[in-house]
Amino acid sequence: RKTMAKSKFEYVRNFEADDTCLQNCWVVVRLDGRNFHKFADQHGFKKPNDERALQLMSKCALTVMEELNDIVIAYGQSDEYSFVFKRKSNWFKRRASKFISHVVSQFSSSFVFYWQDYFKDQALLFPPGFDGRVVLYPSNQNLRDYLSWRQADCHINNLYNTTFWALVQQGGLSNSEAEEKLKGTLAGEKNDILFLEFNINYNNEPEIYRKGTVLIWHKIEETIDKRITTPDAPEGKNVVVKRTRNKLLPFHMDVIGDKFWEEHSQILAD
Ligand code: ATP
Ligand code: ATP
Ligand code: MG
Ligand code: MG
Ligand code: MG
Ligand code: MG
């Protein structure tokens, strides 16, 4: 009877849409904090850049890359992170919903799990959420342009925010006065305001703020002490063993120019 019932109902499975990601394309999942403008205010984020929040975001991204398969590079800034799955990935048969949901849920649970490690005296007041989307990029140039786009966005927002908060925090302007003053200004004018009024050289601002964070895998040589037993030392002896392993490392460098891609050519190689 049970099998009868199951086959009777099972047709509903056919209502599931096929969301296989096109073969041979880079699969990019980008997530973004929901309502983080408000979330940042409610949790006392330092303006314009809260270092703790950025470190926590990158910790969550590291966890995603370690727990899930086939992610070759990630890029993060503000409340967003992008994850790039290798072109040939066949993880979950390339189903878009699996890529998105695994990335976003692993990231979200990590954000809550690791919160207190970064926000020592700030309680997490409610469960935060993140949205996610998947985008396919068929060529290496498209993928590079995607990452360039996100890094350019980081730069534009950070230059604006740095100038805005200098005007408010050091210049004594109200939020709306600062907003009014910056309306329609070009990058050069913002640089001038920072330099002439506040003696801030924007190019000396920390790279993590100006460039965001890139996470990539690195081969590292490790030497470990290992205890082994051999015929001549049946009671065991210590030996030093060399091994290579992949480790994730964060960078805050330019990904728009060619230099990064020349130095890390393995990322696009397969
Ligand atoms: P949505 O739900 O549409 O994404 P949002 O409020 O999250 O809305 P975003 O465009 O994603 O809007 O902007 C994120 C906001 O979160 C920033 O504008 C900034 O106010 C805040 N924020 C995120 N990270 C930081 C940080 N490290 N330091 C300070 N503020 C931050
Ligand atoms: P996948 O990642 O493919 O979903 P899975 O191990 O989660 O793999 P499921 O088919 O989702 O496989 O099955 C979930 C399993 O989790 C169950 O088979 C059972 O072993 C365990 N499980 C889940 N909820 C409970 C529960 N409330 N009590 C006991 N076991 C549970
Ligand atoms: Mg948004
Ligand atoms: Mg957001
Ligand atoms: Mg955002
Ligand atoms: Mg399961």
Q: Which of 19, 53, 71 is closest to 246 using CA atoms?
A: 71
Q: What kind and span of H or E run contains 260?
A: helix 259-263
Q: Which residues line ligand 1 (CB under 6 A)?
A: 32-37, 40, 45, 47, 49-50, 53-54, 78-79
Which pLDDT score, from 0 to 100, does residue 115 have?
A: 98
Report the nearest atom of ligand 1 relative to the CA of 57: 27
- Is residue 155 part of an annotated ligand binding site? no
The answer to pTM > 0.80 is yes
Which pLDDT score, from 0 to 100, does residue 14 have?
A: 95
Ligand nearest 91 Cα, by number? 2
**Does the complex come out with an ipTM higher than 0.90?**
yes
Which pLDDT score, from 0 to 100, does residue 3 have?
A: 67
Ligand nearest 150 Cα, by number? 5
Which pLDDT score, from 0 to 100, does residue 139 have?
A: 98
Residue 5 has pLDDT above 80, yes or no: no
* C-alpha 135 to ligand 4 mean position (Å): 18
* C-alpha 144 to ligand 6 mean position (Å): 34
Instruction: Determine which residue's CA is closest to atom 21 belonging to ligand 1.
Output: 37
Please choose from 34, 78, 150 the residue to mutate so as to test ligand 1's pocket, defined by most ligand atoms within 8 A of CB.
78
Instruction: Determine which residue's CA is closest to atom 20 belonging to ligand 1.
Output: 37
Q: Which class for 31: exposed (0-12), middle (13-18), buried (19 or more C-beta within 10 A)?
A: buried
* C-alpha 36 to ligand 1 mean position (Å): 4
Residue 23 Cα to chain centre, angstroms:
24
21 secondary structure, DSSP code: P
Q: Which domains does the chain have, with CATH numbers?
A: 17-138 (3.30.70.3000), 213-250 (no CATH)
Please count the helices (runs of H) and the strands (runs of E) in the chain. Answer: 11, 6
Residue reference for tokens 């960078």? 251
Q: What is the DSSP string of 180-230?
A: HHHTT--HHHHHHIIIIIH---GGGS-HHHHH-EEEEEEEEEEEEEEEEEE
Which pLDDT score, from 0 to 100, does residue 48 have?
A: 97
- Beta-bridge partner residues of 85: 27, 71
